[in-house]
């Protein structure tokens, strides 16, 4: 068993979690971790077919989940999803703002749409879901909001990603401010800043580029999606009740 496969144990029975960008990658891993920990999971993304596969995977693992296809940048759609989730399960305890896209190019060639598309999905989407989730969480006097940022923007810059880095830096600012606003209501708001995580994208860059990636990481390996998901699981738990308004790196020491 590798380090990345040693899943932590948390009991989220009776809790309801909502994960955006849940159809693949990090979001899929997070939704599965939360579901197998006992939470009912609302899986949100644009692709209904991929969402259905994730919901089925959670069900096969003994959890309960439902798919809510949604454009996270559309205010009315976001409100409807939150309303539908709270109607279905009567509460909302955990929100994971994970949905994100890239439109990489150097700043002289970056078009208006390249900027707007990334900001609307990565930052506006997190704002819309946070705003919509605030009411049920305040009524419960309990909530966990977890924003998936990135070391790119939150800690360091990355050439060709001015839009992505700005959106991820914005998520940290959103995290810190909303944490101050909601802390008295027993709602915590934290961010996670993953480094280079193994994915289909990293596999496609080739062996030589991968070697260069690893040289930048003291751990000498890429992170696994499950390692980020385990931190989400911890921050969603009662054990993390006094952690609020912070950004935690999961990067193997890349930014130390």
pLDDT tens string, the chain, 256 residues long: the values are: 244 455 678 999 999 999 999 999 999 999 999 999 999 999 999 999 999 999 999 999 999 999 999 999 999 999 999 999 999 999 999 999 999 999 999 999 999 999 999 999 999 999 999 999 999 999 999 999 999 999 999 899 989 999 999 999 999 999 999 999 999 999 999 999 999 998 876 776 677 777 887 888 999 999 999 999 999 999 999 999 999 999 999 999 999 8
Each domain of the chain, given as residue ranges in start order, spans 9-249
- Which residues are part of the catalytic machinery? 164
HSE-CB for 240 with a 13 A CA cutoff: 27
CATH second-level architecture of 9-249?
Answer: 3-Layer(aba) Sandwich (3.40)
Taking the C-alpha atoms of residue 2 and residue 125, their distance in angstroms, rounded to an integer, is: 34
């Amino acid at each position: 068993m590798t380090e990345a496969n040693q899943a932590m144990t948390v009991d989220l029975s009776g809790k309801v979690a909502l994960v955006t960008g849940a159809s693949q990658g990090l979001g899929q891993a997070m939704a599965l971790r939360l579901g197998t920990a006992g939470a009912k999971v609302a899986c949100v993304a644009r692709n209904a077919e991929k969402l259905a596969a994730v919901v089925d995977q959670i069900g096969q693992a003994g959890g309960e989940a439902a798919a809510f296809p949604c454009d996270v940048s559309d205010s009315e759609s976001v409100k409807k999803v939150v309303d539908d989730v709270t109607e279905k399960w009567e509460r909302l305890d955990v929100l994971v703002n994970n949905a994100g896209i890239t439109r990489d190019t150097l700043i002289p060639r970056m078009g208006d749409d390249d900027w707007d598309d990334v900001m609307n999905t990565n930052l506006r989407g997190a704002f819309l879901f946070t705003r919509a989730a605030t009411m049920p969480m305040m009524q419960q006097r309990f909530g966990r909001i977890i924003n998936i940022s990135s070391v790119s923007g939150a800690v360091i810059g990355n050439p060709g990603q001015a839009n992505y880095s700005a959106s991820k830096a914005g998520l940290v600012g959103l995290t810190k401010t909303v944490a101050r606003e909601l802390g008295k209501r027993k709602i915590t708001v934290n961010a996670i800043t993953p480094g280079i995580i193994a994915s289909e994208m990293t596999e496609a860059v080739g062996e030589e580029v991968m070697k260069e990636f690893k040289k930048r990481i003291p751990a000498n390996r890429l992170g696994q999606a499950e390692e980020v998901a385990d931190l989400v699981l911890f921050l969603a738990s009662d054990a993390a009740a006094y952690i609020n308004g912070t950004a935690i790196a999961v990067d193997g020491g890349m930014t130390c």
